[in-house]
Amino acid sequence: MFEGLTTRLEQIFKNLRRKAKLSESDVEAVLKEVRIALLEADVNYGVVKEFIENIRKRTVGIEISQALNPAQQVIKIVHEELIAMLGEPVGLELKGEKPRVILLVGLQGSGKTTAAAKLGRHLQSQGERVLLVAADPYRPAARSQLTKLGQQINLPVFSIDTTDAPEIVSSAYLAAKRGGFTVMIIDTAGRSQLDQALMDELERIQSVVHSKEIILVVDAMTGQEAVKVAEGFQKTLPLTGLFITKLDGDARGGAAISIRKVTGIPIKMIGVGETLEALEIYQPRRLADRILGMGDVAGIIEKTEQAFDQQQLAKQAEKAKNGKLDLEDYAEQLFQLKKMGSMNSLLEMLPGNLASKSISTEEADKKITKTLAVIQSMTIRERRNPQILNANRRRRIAGGSGNQVQDVNRVIKEFYNMQLLMKKFGKLDRKGLTNLFH
């Protein structure tokens, strides 16, 4: 996500920090570079123009001349303007009579069905009783896909055999009301392009349920086309929010920056991976931090809190304080880590000075799998007492896991390093850990 833009901006600011004083021409040179970086990242031209002009007004004259550290002051201004461009965070409207209805709309292939399951899982974790509704009667695999996703996260899916989408929605609403569901998420049909038939059907669905939340699902990979799609839907439907999918696959990500500013529709959620856990509630300040290479350690902590079993985490935290973690704990942590998504999505949330650009995230994912294979080839006694792992045991474990002895040695060394690190961090609370990385 934003890899190209982040790299360019980091280099611009690195060069900026070398200057003890900044002249007006220095500022103009920086603004020119930032402008090019944003345009190359596929940010809307009009948005870039306004963004640069806002920074220019703030950096020329008084603010720069009075700054003790001009370079840091410029970076601070860019950061603040970036947050302003990304807009205020707006949550889902989940008040009123139950079930509260969330209508997902979008073009074919935008990822609506997966988005419905991701959102359902998230709301379920917040204590809501969620019903997924398969209201796409045209795509043969749509119903079965949503049903399979629902089974994965233990959410019921409503569907009936009819080609009339408003009828499906009407029946689902009655079923949700009778069943005591608090939220109903409707996965609607898409088209390969905007057409009147699609809009007419969506209007009919909306007339049935009067949803307070109409979320447009857009694919970040389509770039500025996503902005045009949003504007097209906005002409017919009172869109309340955006769900941007596949943001992890777009190294430029400019459409995500532009779409909020151009359309005025708030971004509410972003998809950052293929797994159903790979959903983030839109936080402009955190996104700005990541774009500028400042990281999002608070986001990592949140992912950890969501993915890890809290009772198990508390037990391990207590063991960590006393330096008593064993290889079974290590394996459990790695299993939970895999549930948080790919290493790519986690590493990009670290500040630029901590996340090495030379790390291959694909190799990191493979390394976790190999580490788990090594630990699973140990006996229970060995996992709980790693100090007994002599040369003979290590050779047996290597053979049993399909690895080399040096791989087993690496796993054991990394475990001891982790044990020391956990003992060091064991007494840090959430705020302390965040401050540590900033």
pLDDT value for 135: 93
- pTM over cut 0.85: no
Could you give the residue range(s) of every CATH 3.40.50.300 domain in the chain?
A: 100-291
Looking from the CA of 409 toward its CB, the CA atoms found within 13 Å total 7
pLDDT higher than 80, residue 351: no
Instruction: List, edge to edge, every strand of the sheet that includes 267-271.
Output: 157-158, 130-135, 183-188, 100-105, 213-219, 241-245, 267-271, 279-281
pLDDT value for 33: 87
Residue bearing tokens 């139950």: 98
| Residue 323, φ and ψ in degrees, nearest 5 | 65, 35
Average pLDDT over residues 40-69: 76
Residue 128's pLDDT band (cuts 50, 70, 90): very high
Higher pLDDT: 56 or 19? It is 56
Q: What is the CATH number of domain 3-86?
A: 1.20.120.140
Residue 118's pLDDT band (cuts 50, 70, 90): very high
For all residues of the chain together, what is the average pLDDT? Answer: 80
Residue 425's pLDDT band (cuts 50, 70, 90): low
Higher pLDDT: 336 or 139? It is 139
Instruction: Name the 3-class secondary structure at 327.
Output: helix
Residue 197's pLDDT band (cuts 50, 70, 90): confident
Residue 127's pLDDT band (cuts 50, 70, 90): very high
pLDDT value for 229: 87
Could you give the residue range(s) of every CATH 1.10.260.30 domain in the chain?
A: 297-437
Instruction: Name the 3-class secondary structure at 364.
Output: helix
Residue 354's pLDDT band (cuts 50, 70, 90): very low
DSSP code string of 365-397: HHHHHHHHHHHHTS-HHHHH-GGG--HHHHHHH
pLDDT higher than 80, residue 304: no
- Helix, strand, coil abundance in the chain, percent, nearest 5: 60, 10, 30
Structure token pair of residue 184: 């109903």
Q: How far apart, in whole angstroms, are the C-alpha atoms of residue 326 and residue 322? A: 12
Is domain 297-437 classified as CATH 3.90.1750.10? no
Average pLDDT over residues 249-274: 78
pLDDT value for 435: 45
Structure token pair of residue 148: 């399979």
Average pLDDT over residues 164-190: 94
pLDDT higher than 60, residue 25: yes
Higher pLDDT: 304 or 128? It is 128
pLDDT higher than 70, residue 294: no
* The listed CATH number (3.10.105.10, 3.40.50.300, 1.10.540.10, 3.50.50.60) that belongs to domain 100-291: 3.40.50.300
pLDDT higher than 90, residue 181: yes
Could you give the residue range(s) of every CATH 1.20.120.140 domain in the chain?
A: 3-86
pLDDT value for 191: 77
pLDDT value for 277: 83
Residue 313's pLDDT band (cuts 50, 70, 90): low
Average pLDDT over residues 85-98: 87
pLDDT value for 398: 92
Average pLDDT over residues 92-117: 91
Q: What does R_g of the chain's alpha carbons equal in angstroms?
A: 25
Q: How far apart, in whole angstroms, are the C-alpha atoms of residue 309 and residue 329? A: 12
Residue 310's pLDDT band (cuts 50, 70, 90): low
